[in-house]
Structure 1
Amino acid sequence: MSTRRNHTDYTLAWVCPLEIEQTAAIKMLDESHEPLEQERTDYNTYTLGRIGRHNIVIAALHQAGNSSATSVVTQIRNTFPDIRSVLLVGIGGGVPVKTSSGIIRLGDIVVSKPAGEYPGVVQYDHGKAEIGVFKRTGALQPPPAVLLHAAQDFAVNRTLADEAMDPLTTSLSRITSDKRLKAFHFPGRQMDFLYESDYAHLRAGYLCSECKCDPAKRIRHDYGVDEAHVQVHRGVIASGELVIKDAKKRDELAAQHGVLCFETEAAGVLADTPCLVIRGISDYCDSHKNDQWHGYAAATAAAYSRELVLRLPMYKPKQSPNPGHCGDSARARILD
């Protein structure tokens, strides 16, 4: 625990919908800070700390969903007035399609990025039903330019890095090297089951191996030599109130909107605040989904987020209107 800071020292918020995601986020901090006072109307619980040169507010949701995300982010911005950017980090359901980085598989990362008519996130369940068609209404904000630039910088540098010096692997080891956190360790590619879209899970509440789902219905993956290598896919993420557990519905919505991942909080955050969405893929949005990959997917998303923060620029401090006042002159901020 380091010395106490001020509310205005924090310019970046890291929001985690689930407890397991919050644990992964805290493991990414270089140092922790003492808690600060907050208004009685702010019901959030914060973890304050630093990654590299940037001070960060970490907050979790009391329950998953867009409404909860909206409330939490609103309270963050009221308590920490200099927050300029938000990272929404956690797990999501992947669409097993091929991108420029390869086939999306469990443990990979999907990051929101504007594509076509979409600003990075599409709220697929918000709109109006007309004759024979469902039309989406409203528009969400694109991610802050500074975060998009940092994501691109990471992609370039990771491509150029020596295979043995993968920065994402280095950050991921902050969790996976901790023997106490077994839930966050790599489950093994042999546990990555992708079934044909029309083959339903045989018994709810049981693993595929326990209820004897037919192995012949699995789609064979060609993963290459390094099965543990984490790929980063950038594109459109779908956000809605309902958890998708239907492979046919997944494929239908993915084809309609060109999405790579499904989740349930981004639309709530983006209603009022620019945000970059980062999701570790924990399932394929089908009836076979389970919790086996939750920890590792949360870890990969958190590791990527740390690397992103390390690449954010530092800006010159704002000039005080009073030349004789220098209270904030030594503090740098992340700007939009």
Structure 2
Amino acid sequence: MGDLRGARAQRLPGLLRVRTRWAAEPLDLLRELRKLKPAVVHFSGHGAQSAVGERLPGQSFGHGVFFQGADGRARFVSTGALDETFGAAGASVKLVVLNACYTEVQAQALLTHVDCVVGIGGSIHDDAARNFAIGFYGGLGERESVATAYQQGRAAISLEGLHDGDRPQLKVRHGVDATQLILAGDPRANTTVERTTAAPSHRSSVDIGILTIRDDEFHAVLSVLPNRAGVFTGSKREYTLRQADAGNGEQYMVAVLRQAEQGGGETLDAARDLIDDLAPKLVLVVGIAGALPSDDVKLGDVVLSTSLHEFTLDASKTGQDTTYAAPAGRLNKALAAVVADLAFKKDDLGDWTSDLPPQPSVSWTRRGQLYGPAVWQRGLRAKLKHHYGESSTPRMPVYVAGPIASSDRLVRDPALLFPWVATARNILAIDMESGGVFRAARERCPMLAIRGISEIVGLKRADAWTKYACASAAAFTRTFLRMRPVPIGLSLMMERPQ
């Protein structure tokens, strides 16, 4: 539902109450239709002409949409399943907006139960989808009819110079006049707007949420944030509270959470719970990651995510290489500007490595220390010699900003990375959790991954470097917070990920 961001930011005289459900799972649709009895249902995500994944008995594939599965993977929901769901629980719904590619067939099917449905016959760019939502819901909020708001949504695409061939199409049920269908309430008839459940008092006091996955990551973060502020027990999880230096003599309130186990699905749930319980202004994923062989990144360095590529959907055909759909999620623009400005604030950052322990040694010449295809080992050997050979110049860790790849697979085979690199170039680090946090946090609050490099794919992992990378990521996190990435007491307006 990310492309509702602009619509929610407008001050509208008509009464439109927007309830969002992030990274929704299939059963969430049925549950919320029963609970909220909405007049409008807006879907923003991915549509499909055919399913990717396991076919269930009795399920008819052809067209559908993707929801979030309980395991963090994309879950295909067929047109037939959507039709059955709205038939069973969608009596209150007057309008459905399928603001996703390849949803015209789904829109036509839903007309059996819904007066008006917006769908898209082909593909549509994210910018065009967002602009349509801004124009369309702006019109609805001004108490324009569905037909007029639809025209305003299409005009919003044109005004930005966007020329998508397949624009949203409005479909109207037989016997319904969309020019007379007005969905926003009249503010003169009801001046009391319903509030959502009141936020607990602790929510406003937490500025930063930090999510860690491993026990050593958790304790490394606590060691650099020694000012204790108690423990808070949320709806499902317990958070360790710390105060952190925010510069100019002020303090952030930080909540640190260690999730129960590794993997994108658990991370998605943990990040959801953290945001629901505490409403932080920024979520950081702090810990370790692997890296590809590189001239620029070595063990102990810290990678800040400028974008996230999720490698969780793959499609392969007999006789062909596996390919991946790796949608890129980019930083919130305000946070991206903070990260970019770090390059000009080296004096302010200071020597953030001063408290780190001595760096472990690196060895790669013994039998069994390198693994993977021969071509990978040759390239890795050259990079290791560049960083750690006799003629190399030792250096302390540095931070770099760039793309991070996230997958629910534990990468131990370098050959797995070949199609990844072909899909998303310039990847600096690889982890299993950042993608889940990004999906949970999108448009609810900014998020950033801060990853210490604990291993290079193709080089046998050393426990000493795991410990060092935990300390490196935590040390940079402390320094990053001193740069005050988000204001104390204010929230950032999120943008739809590109």
Question: Do Structure 1 and Structure 2 share a fold, with TM-score over 0.5?
Answer: yes
1:116 corresponding residue in structure 2: none
Report deviation, 1:127: 3.5
Q: 1:255 to 1:281 in 2, by over 3 A?
A: farther
User: Is 1:285 matched up with 2:469?
Assistant: no
Q: Provide the rounded CA distance (Å) in 2 between the counterparts of 1:146 and 1:68.
A: 28
Contact 1:111 1:234 in 2 (8 A): yes
Where relative contact order (Cα < 8 A, 6+ residues apart) is larger, the structure is 1
The amino acid across from 1:332 in the alignment is G
Report deviation, 1:20: 0.5
Which structure 1 residue ranges, 5 or more long, are not aligned? 114-119, 177-184, 202-216, 316-330
1:260 corresponding residue in structure 2: 428
Contact 2:213 2:258 in 1 (8 A): yes
Which structure 2 residue ranges, 5 or more long, are not aligned? 1-200, 246-250, 373-380, 494-498
Contact 1:140 1:271 in 2 (8 A): no
Report deviation, 1:107: 0.5
- TM-score when scaled to structure 1? 0.71
Q: Provide the rounded CA distance (Å) in 2 between the counterparts of 1:225 and 1:287.
A: 19
Q: Provide the rounded CA distance (Å) in 2 between the counterparts of 1:334 and 1:308.
A: 18
The amino acid across from 1:277 in the alignment is A
Contact 1:153 1:311 in 2 (8 A): no
CA RMSD of aligned residues (A): 3.2
- TM-score when scaled to structure 2? 0.49
Contact 1:28 1:303 in 2 (8 A): yes
SS at match of 2:331: coil
User: Is 1:276 matched up with 2:448?
Assistant: yes
Q: Provide the rounded CA distance (Å) in 2 between the counterparts of 1:194 and 1:261.
A: 24
SS at match of 1:292: helix
Q: What CA deviation, in whole Å up to 9, does each residue of 1:210-249 have, x standing for no partner?
A: xxxxxxx674124687624112221111111111112343
1:125 corresponding residue in structure 2: 312
1:235 corresponding residue in structure 2: 402
Contact 1:108 1:231 in 2 (8 A): yes
Q: 1:233 to 1:252 in 2, by over 3 A?
A: farther
Report deviation, 1:141: 3.4
Structure 1 residue corresponding to 2:334, chosen from 132, 135, 146 = 146
Contact 1:22 1:59 in 2 (8 A): yes
Q: 1:198 to 1:298 in 2, by over 3 A?
A: closer
Q: Provide the rounded CA distance (Å) in 2 between the counterparts of 1:335 and 1:194.
A: 49
Q: 1:187 to 1:10 in 2, by over 3 A?
A: same
Report deviation, 1:303: 1.3
SS at match of 2:490: coil
SS at match of 1:23: helix
User: Is 1:87 matched up with 2:275?
Assistant: no
Report deviation, 1:74: 1.1
1:214 corresponding residue in structure 2: none
SS at match of 2:230: coil
Q: Which has the higher mean CA deviation after the structures are superposed, 125-134 or 298-307?
A: 125-134
Structure 2 residue corresponding to 1:296, chosen from 460, 468, 473 = 468
Matches within 5 A, 1:40-119: 42=236, 44-52=237-245, 53-80=251-278, 82-98=279-295, 103-113=296-306
Q: Provide the rounded CA distance (Å) in 1 between the counterparts of 2:490 and 2:274.
A: 17
The amino acid across from 2:203 in the alignment is H
Q: Provide the rounded CA distance (Å) in 2 between the counterparts of 1:84 and 1:125.
A: 28
Report deviation, 1:133: 5.1
Structure 2 residue corresponding to 1:221, chosen from 374, 381, 386 = 386
Structure 2 residue corresponding to 1:200, chosen from 361, 365, 371 = 371
Report deviation, 1:192: 5.3
Q: What CA deviation, in whole Å up to 9, does each residue of 1:150-172 have, x standing for no partner?
A: 322323212x57xxx833224xx
Q: Which structure has the greater CA radius of gyration?
A: 2
Contact 1:198 1:248 in 2 (8 A): no
Q: Provide the rounded CA distance (Å) in 1 between the counterparts of 2:339 and 2:317.
A: 38
Q: 1:133 to 1:50 in 2, by over 3 A?
A: same
Identity level (%): 19
Q: Provide the rounded CA distance (Å) in 1 between the counterparts of 2:369 and 2:359.
A: 26
Contact 2:369 2:459 in 1 (8 A): no
Q: Provide the rounded CA distance (Å) in 2 between the counterparts of 1:196 and 1:141.
A: 40
The amino acid across from 2:270 in the alignment is V
SS at match of 2:436: helix
